[in-house]
Structure 1
């Protein structure tokens, strides 16, 4: 009888051992799945964050380039006036309107510092366009353009050094 009970214990130990091993396998599998899901989610969140950052940067860049194009058209009219050349056939009022509209796009998509620099540059160009004589007290349009360009470069996170003048 003693021998029979030890065999039963051995069989139960074998069943218990395989059950424990199976449970350990299930636990390891579950832990592996959870870790895998966490890592996949973490990577997806980073990818989404990067995509949003890239999209926002592209919007800022588009607004800045549109503003610069409008400012360049106004500067062309001013330069032609200063040189005594005939102005283009496009009315100056339309160019000023386009400039103010482009400035508003910068205000909507860029940080305060960039929006303020765009506003200052627009105001200087507007003043110069309306008053044919440049005021000696106000900084030149080139100063405002330079200030805007540096702020815009920072807004686009170019990482490049400032432009020497």
Structure 2
């Protein structure tokens, strides 16, 4: 009977070790999958922020081009200024939806400075516009993970 009881105990220990091994393996697999999912979400969020920032900068650049040509006394070749301003304010919205409050506020301030200069609401808005652009760029760099010091402007 001792041999049978010993065999049974060893069999139960084997089943117990197998179960523990399976549970540990499943736990580790879930952990790895959770980390992978978290990395995937972080990458998607980064791409979404980057796309919003680049879209806003592209719209702002089209307004900047109109202003630069106007300052040089050259005709603007693209569509009406109203369309450029509309596109600028529309491009600001994804920044508001995907980025931090600071980035959204900086985008708003820059868009407002461009709008005011385009409409001639300020006598010399070039300085304010540049300051707003630099502020937005530094905040955007932070949004995208840059840990480098601010650029010399």
Structure 1 unmatched runs, 5+:
1-11
> Matches of residues 14-163 of structure 1 in structure 2 within 5 Å?
14-131=3-120, 134-135=123-124, 139-163=127-151
Shift of residue 133, structure 1, vs aligned partner? 5.3
1:40-65 deviation per Cα after TM superposition (whole angstroms, max 9, x unaligned)? 00000010011011101100000000
CA–CA distance in 1 between the matches of 2:123 and 2:12? 85
CA–CA distance in 2 between the matches of 1:26 and 1:17? 14
Q: Number of residue pairs matched? A: 153
Equivalent position SS for 1:158: coil
1:99-147 deviation per Cα after TM superposition (whole angstroms, max 9, x unaligned)? 00000111011110100000000000000000175347x9521110000
Structure 2 unmatched runs, 5+:
none
TM-score, normalization by structure 1: 0.88
CA–CA distance in 2 between the matches of 1:63 and 1:111? 12
TM-score, normalization by structure 2: 0.95
Give runs of ≥4 in structure 1 deviating > 4 Å. none
